[in-house]
Structure formats: C-alpha cells, structure tokens
Structure 1
C-alpha cells in the first residue's frame, strides 16, 4: 500500500536526543509509517529533504494563544518556526471557565473586545477552538485566575472555604472536560492573595486526575528562593507533578541574579533527587512583558467603564495603586526607565518609549501616568502592553544549559495579515528561531539533537503525549523540516512581526501547512483532551 506522503533524503533528528541519521520518513493516515534509509514502497506525494533536518514538530510548552487561535487559527508566527503544538491556559490566564462576562476579557492575553463569547466551560471553549480548525495542535490547562474570577470575582484576599469548595468543583469539572492540568499566576492581581494552602488543595484535585501543575511563582523582591520553595512545598503537599514556568524570573528578585538562578536550579535538582516530579521552562526574551493594567489592584477594574474611570481619577485610589505590590512595580524595581510601553492604540507614537520618559514629558509621576494612560484606553484597558528589561544573558544561559529546561514562547500565536494584523506580542515570531540560532549555531551550548529534544521529546514526555514529540512508526506526523544552517528569527524589538526564516516544510498530523517555504492554506491541528 503506498504512503500518503514521503519525506525523502533528509537528516532525521528524532526528538529523543540521539544522534541524527539519514532516513526517509513515510506517512500514512496522519501517522508515521516508516523511518529508515530508504522507503521501499511508493508514495502519493514526495517532499524532498536533501540537505535539510527532519525533526518532530516543536512543542510550545508555555503559550498564551488561548484567544488568538480563535481570532485567527492560522498561527503563522508559530508554523513558520516549526511549532505544531501549543499549551495554553498558562500563568492563571485563559479563556475558560467563565461565569461573569463583565470580567471575561480580563486574564486573557490579546483579547479583542468585539469578539463574541458564546462559551462558558472549558469543554465549550475547546469545542469552539476545534470548530476554528487551528493550524497547530492545542491543549489547555485550567487557569486559577479564571477560577477566582468565576467564583470570587475581583478580590484581593484569600478564598473563603465556600469559594474554595466551588473552585475545586469547577476545576474538577474542567479537568473532566479535557484540560491537562492547572496553572497559577501568583504575581497577578486576581491571584496574588491566594494562600499556599488553598493552592495546595486545588493541586490535590489535579493530582487525583494525574494532571500537571504549572506555576508562575509569587515573585516578591528579596524572596527569590522562597518563590521556588513555595512551589515545591505545594507540589509535595498535593503529590502533584510540578512545572515551574519561566524559572529565571527569580533573577529580577535579587541583587545577584546569577546567584538567584543557581539557587533555583539547586532547589529543583534537590527536589528531583528526593523523588518529586518537578521540571521547568524558560522563554527566550531578555525582558518581561505583560499588560499595563496589571499595575492595578483587582478591585479597581470592577464594574462598567464609568466606574473604572471614576476610580482611576480618584486620588485615594491612586495612592493605593502606588502602594500595591503589582507585577509591574516588581518589574520596574523603582527604575521606570526600564519599563517600555510596547503597545498603545490610543497614542501609537508613545510605543517604544519608557514610562520614565513619557512621564517626564507629560509632567506625571509613574502612578499618575499609568492611571492616565489607562483612562485614555478605558474601552480597551487590557490592550496596552509593557516591556521590562530586567534579565541578563548569563542568567538565561545557566537555565538553558540545564538538561531539564524546556523552552516556551510565553507569547501568543499571531499572523501578519487578517484579524490579528498589527497585533504585537514580543517573542511570538522569534522564540524558537532565536533559541536554535543562539544556542546551537552561535554559542554551541547545545548540539542540534539536544536542542531538538528540548523542543520536542522532553515537553511531550512532560505532558504524557506518548504519540507525539518523537519520530518513530506510529506517532502522529507532526514534523518540522528545516535548514539547520539558516533557521533563525528575523524579528527584533523594534520590528517584532517578521516571520522566521529557514523552515521549509511543516506538517501537522500529516497535513502540510508549510510546503517549500510557502503557505498551503491547509490546517491540520487537533484540540487535544486529556484522556481523549
């Protein structure tokens, strides 16, 4: 019986970390049917791969594409980098579950206010996503921020016993509807007051289902080691598998960033030696990015536009904003020159300027400036984004040198045209290309097979996906075929929305989405459900 498609004459890097080999890869019914020196049969179609590397499709272990894949399912920024699977629902952010539509657009990166929301549960959200036929495979975690908003609303206190019970019920239902685990964003307004005890109770629900707990840790200045220790204690208490998100953020919590990173990695290694199932990931930027509105206490955003605007003008509220230990203040560390406004539709000319410079020109102190900027954008408060230059390459290098470090975009999938044209999320177009160029070709820190393993087999194993992440007979044909001497990012801080180069063919479940460097228009992604 002929193969549906044959990738002929490439160098296969199979995702396990083993040395590359010259081989043909035959595909039948969306799965790999043969990997070997020469396919003995015929094929309906042939893609030539001489001089190219054939790898499993890359897995974005830490994506924020929850909404953008609904808005435009082509995911061109991802496909151009060989990405075939994205894990959404990270950092306590996501699209479901929902109860109050007034807070629906909060805790969702990239959300457009005019997009209709006709789902409530995680199961309904996954159905809507599948109806959109995404170009990439997608799976989700249950965001704790969404649980808090659904049950307690915009509060800055620990959950009550009754609220916690309802959150656990909602988490259980979401896991039964197909979510792979649970995430927290303990540095963000809706979750910063959550107690360690309540997170451990929620993680107990996840542990019973065999799911994964991914955490954006609490991250308070001067508490770099405690932020990791709390995550490990929580996982130990609940008996749950732990994924520490973008671990090197601890560097911005201490005067000595290298020492903070080394201490975090030592804690992970010690926990693993003690038998705890703990891993971690890191994004590829030397800066952080988030919503400007994350500077506000959650209750400031409660109610309609008029109510929010009245609070933003209130001097007493502004005093509370100034005293609030937000992620934005934590990123600034008192130096507002390091915080750049990266996306601001109300006055696009301000994008790329620091809050210190904008404040000086407008005669405003940082807190007053933030409130005024959000007042001007009050009909789309989640839209303004910031960049925070707070990391160094030597800190990141130590993390990526660790054999358990996975790689994530910490960004949203975007497209250069269509409904997402003009949308910006730094890292979206660059993360995998930068990782491969920098650590394989430029610095030699990783061999090609080690780098591919970090992007494929390692995260697939973490997610329990036995039929993805490696190239062998029987696995789904998620494949990235690229020129290993060329593959790189083109986007920059000033011009972030440039697609990567060097990717030649990309197949998702055997469907060619990129062929000879050109878009085919086909979308073969699946929405994956735990246990499905």
Structure 2
C-alpha cells in the first residue's frame, strides 16, 4: 500500500535524462516505485495527467535564515516548487552570535533581519535546534557566514583580523560545522569583509576539510577585477582542499559586458584541476544593500526598502531624487539604510552563464525586503517558462537538472534531487505550458504560475495555489558528513 501516488504524469527525473510517462509511488518519506502503478493501492492518488512530475527544486543560493523561523510556511519558496534551500550565503548567517549584535544591525547582516532580535543564538547548534523544534515547510541546508563571524568577534571591522580574532572565528566556525553546517560562506565584496585577507579566510576556514564542508563565496569583485577574484577563489579552495561554489556568477558594469566569454573558460579550466561549481539567478538585475558607490555605477535603480523612508519602496531612485529635489547620490544617502535592485548586467552574459552546463540555479532572494526583487518568488518558474519554453535556451530536462540533480550532486545531498526508488520524496508538479514567474520588476508580489503540487518528504505541502500545512522540512547535510 502506497501512502501517495502521483498518477498519469510525465516524469523528468532530475538526471537530465529524457522525460517518460510514469507514476511515482511514495511510502512514508521516500519514493518506493516509479513506473506503471495503475493497479497498486494507495491511501491517496494525485492526478498528474498533463503535468510534469519533477524532483523538488533545490535553491542553491538563498538568504532564508530568518524566514525559516519567522514564516515557517515558506510560501515564497514553496509556491515556486522549491523543497530545499541552501541558506547562510554571502558571509551572512543568523548564527553564531555570542554577543549582542550591534544596533543598528551591521550591513549586510541587516538583509537577514533589520531589528536584530533574530541574532539571538550564541551557537550554531542552538539555531539548528530551534529549527528542529519548529520545522519549516521545506528542507534547509545551512552555511555559516564569515561576516557573521567577524561581527561576533572583532572590535574593528575595518581591519584585518588579529591572530586572536582569527582563532575565535575558527572556533565558532568549527562549532557550526560540527553542529551541521555544510560549509562556510564569504561576502568579500561587502565593506565589512573587504579588509579580510586571503590568509584570514584560509585560517578561519581551516577546519572545512576535516568536516567535509564546502567553501561558498560572493567573490571580492564581480566587475573589472573579476579575474583576480576568481584566481583568489580557486587559490582558497586549493589551500583548503575543499569544493568551491562561486555564488551568483555575474559581470557587473557596462565596461564588463560580454566578459562571460572570458570567465567561463577560466572556471572550466579550474574545474579540471579542483572541485569548482557555480550558481546564477535568471535575471539581469541584482539586489542588495543600498550604497552610494553602487548607485554611481548603475543608471536604473529600484528601492526595495528604506528605514527612514519606507514609503519609497518600489519606486525608482530617479523618481525619488526628483521628488526630493536632489541628485541621485544625495537621494540614496537619505534613504539609507536601505536596499535596492540594480540593473547592472548584460542579458547576453546572463544567457551565457545560465546555459553553461555546470551552472546551478539560485534565487538569491531577500525575503525581508518591502518590495522584493521578483527572483524571491519566481526564479525557478522563470527558468522553466521564460528560458526553457519561450527562449529555448536549453531543454526542459536540462532546466530541471540545473535545479535538482546538479545542486544535489554538488552539495552532496544524498538521495535528493532525483526521482528514483529510495530517494527522498520531494516532488514538484507543474504545467509545462504555463509555468513562469508570477510578477516582474515593480509589480505586485504574487506566486508563480503553473506550479500545481509540491510534496516535501512524502507529504503534500502545496496544492492548487495554497499551502497544505504539515511542516515536514528537515536539516539536510552533506553526505560526507552524514
């Protein structure tokens, strides 16, 4: 007797293999059979006729550390078919924070929580324990952030860490890895981590290999200095002898348009010598903290949140500057602290990076923005709809692989990201003819189109446009650490 059967659908199994007609039978939290199950009894049968039945999507780059606790229904992710998130990216994690976090919260940690009350966990283990006690609707794999470690231990974030501070950071990082973190992330492009030398990063991350962890990095430069930043990234990976994940690979600034023709072969060459992978979000605009230097390099900017002027969220910086009667830089200064969407990339570079076979999909969504970048709610359906169906940039099988089997393999998530007997029963069904992001820049926030069912660990969690309850999300570890 199956607990649940997805019947009559077309299975795309996450490996990149061609689609096939098959039923998927689930017992408890795992897939028990894939094939013709028409004569098999089941407690519940889900009619998947006309739908694609795929593994649940894995968000390779998320910032849901606080959302997992504050909104455990995880609607922005669940509604687009995501069943597992990799959070703690770009050097930012909620834990560990063994001392009171500065007020106001030090950027970019304010992207996770602006009030600071969420940074209450002295240890990473305490944070994970609360997630176990109050499980969210989806699975979570966590990184510990290097910037968080700096804030937790250093008196002067504008300096290189002392030997004693590096020792304290390494101790906190080791505790996080032992508790269940899958690796360490850095955000070396942010002011709070720019002073960190390569040596500091290597020494703080010195225990990664012993715990089988990965090194994920928002590199030091994603514009004119990107080749040097890539070289540093590969060097850190070699010194630590660990896999490297290049976060949200992009080329920022008009002077760098087209340089993906240079970066991708360099990444490919490095990957022949050491474990290297990358993720990308399917948009030509990024989103992060509002900073004057970023505004100078970008003609079009949309404000996503502002502490002194919350009413300006969703408006362009040009419009706000005009209403204030000042120039753009002065307007940005008046809006800070805040967040913004920056249109700083070339669409052809985005195409080239997305189409690169080893590229995983990550949303890089910021769930606490008042008017968020549409990637928070729509990154994965946009890959399926805009890029696979409309643009034919790659096949639907390839698109699904980029969001399922590929990240599962790169992060070492054994038994996830595929539809096969014995695998975890994380399933997403969608209508291949209608699936796409639900809104674009400046539009009203709404769920994606075409996502019909989402099952997490064998239980339906999303169905026909609404959450189904029964939170069954769990901590996901690398297989090397299981």
Specify which of 364, 381, 390 is matched with residue 410 of structure 1. Answer: 364
Q: Paired residues, what number? A: 477
Query: What is the deviation of 1:496?
Result: 4.8
Conservation of the 8 A alpha-carbon contact between 2:10 and 2:22:
yes
Q: Distance in 1 between matches of 2:102 and 2:440?
A: 33
Query: What is the deviation of 1:522?
Result: 2.4
Query: What is the deviation of 1:289?
Result: 0.9
Three-state SS of the structure 2 residue aligned to 1:449 is helix
Q: Distance in 2 between matches of 1:349 and 1:6?
A: 48
The 5-angstrom pairing of residues 47-126 of structure 1 reads 47-103=46-102, 105-106=105-106, 107-113=109-115, 115=117, 117-126=119-128
Query: Which residue number corresponds to residue 486 of structure 1?
Result: 434
Query: Which residue number corresponds to residue 471 of structure 1?
Result: 419
The 5-angstrom pairing of residues 230-309 of structure 1 reads 230-248=232-250, 251-252=251-252, 255-258=255-258, 260-273=259-272, 275-292=273-290, 295=291
Q: Distance in 1 between matches of 2:450 and 2:8?
A: 17
Query: What is the deviation of 1:22?
Result: 0.8
Specify which of 344, 352, 355 is matched with residue 317 of structure 2. Answer: 355
Query: What is the deviation of 1:40?
Result: 4.5
Matched, 1:389 2:339: no
Q: Deviations over 1:326-361 (max 9, x none)?
A: xx51x33445x4233222364344334443553454
Query: Which residue number corresponds to residue 310 of structure 1?
Result: none
Query: Which residue number corresponds to residue 527 of structure 1?
Result: 475
Q: Cα–Cα, structure 1 residues 222 and 518, in superposed 2: closer, same or farther, change >3 Å?
A: closer
Q: Distance in 2 between matches of 1:213 and 1:116?
A: 25
Q: Cα–Cα, structure 1 residues 332 and 346, in superposed 2: closer, same or farther, change >3 Å?
A: closer
Matched, 1:229 2:227: no
The 5-angstrom pairing of residues 147-162 of structure 1 reads 147-162=149-164
Three-state SS of the structure 2 residue aligned to 1:387 is strand
Conservation of the 8 A alpha-carbon contact between 2:58 and 2:85:
yes
Conservation of the 8 A alpha-carbon contact between 1:53 and 1:481:
yes
Q: Distance in 1 between matches of 2:462 and 2:224?
A: 47
Specify which of 387, 391, 397 is matched with residue 439 of structure 1. Answer: 387
Matched, 1:5 2:7: no
- What's the RMSD between the two structures over aligned residues? 2.1
Q: Distance in 2 between matches of 1:28 and 1:7?
A: 12
Flag structure 1 segments of 5+ consecutive residues without an equivalent.
296-327, 375-380, 415-419
Q: Deviations over 1:251-281 (max 9, x none)?
A: 21561411x21211111111122x2100001
Query: What is the deviation of 1:175?
Result: 0.3
Conservation of the 8 A alpha-carbon contact between 1:246 and 1:280:
yes
Q: Distance in 1 between matches of 2:419 and 2:313?
A: 43
Conservation of the 8 A alpha-carbon contact between 1:140 and 1:181:
yes
Flag structure 2 segments of 5+ consecutive residues without an equivalent.
none
Q: Distance in 2 between matches of 1:364 and 1:423?
A: 23
TM score, norm. by length of structure 1: 0.85
Q: Deviations over 1:424-448 (max 9, x none)?
A: 3441111111111122111111111
Q: Cα–Cα, structure 1 residues 413 and 254, in superposed 2: closer, same or farther, change >3 Å?
A: closer
Q: Deviations over 1:75-134 (max 9, x none)?
A: 111111110000000000120110232338431424252746542211111112222320
Q: Distance in 1 between matches of 2:11 and 2:153?
A: 49
Q: Distance in 1 between matches of 2:360 and 2:185?
A: 17
TM score, norm. by length of structure 2: 0.93
Conservation of the 8 A alpha-carbon contact between 2:101 and 2:151:
no
Query: What is the deviation of 1:232?
Result: 1.1
Conservation of the 8 A alpha-carbon contact between 1:177 and 1:529:
no
The 5-angstrom pairing of residues 80-229 of structure 1 reads 80-103=79-102, 105-106=105-106, 107-113=109-115, 115=117, 117-219=119-221, 221-229=223-231
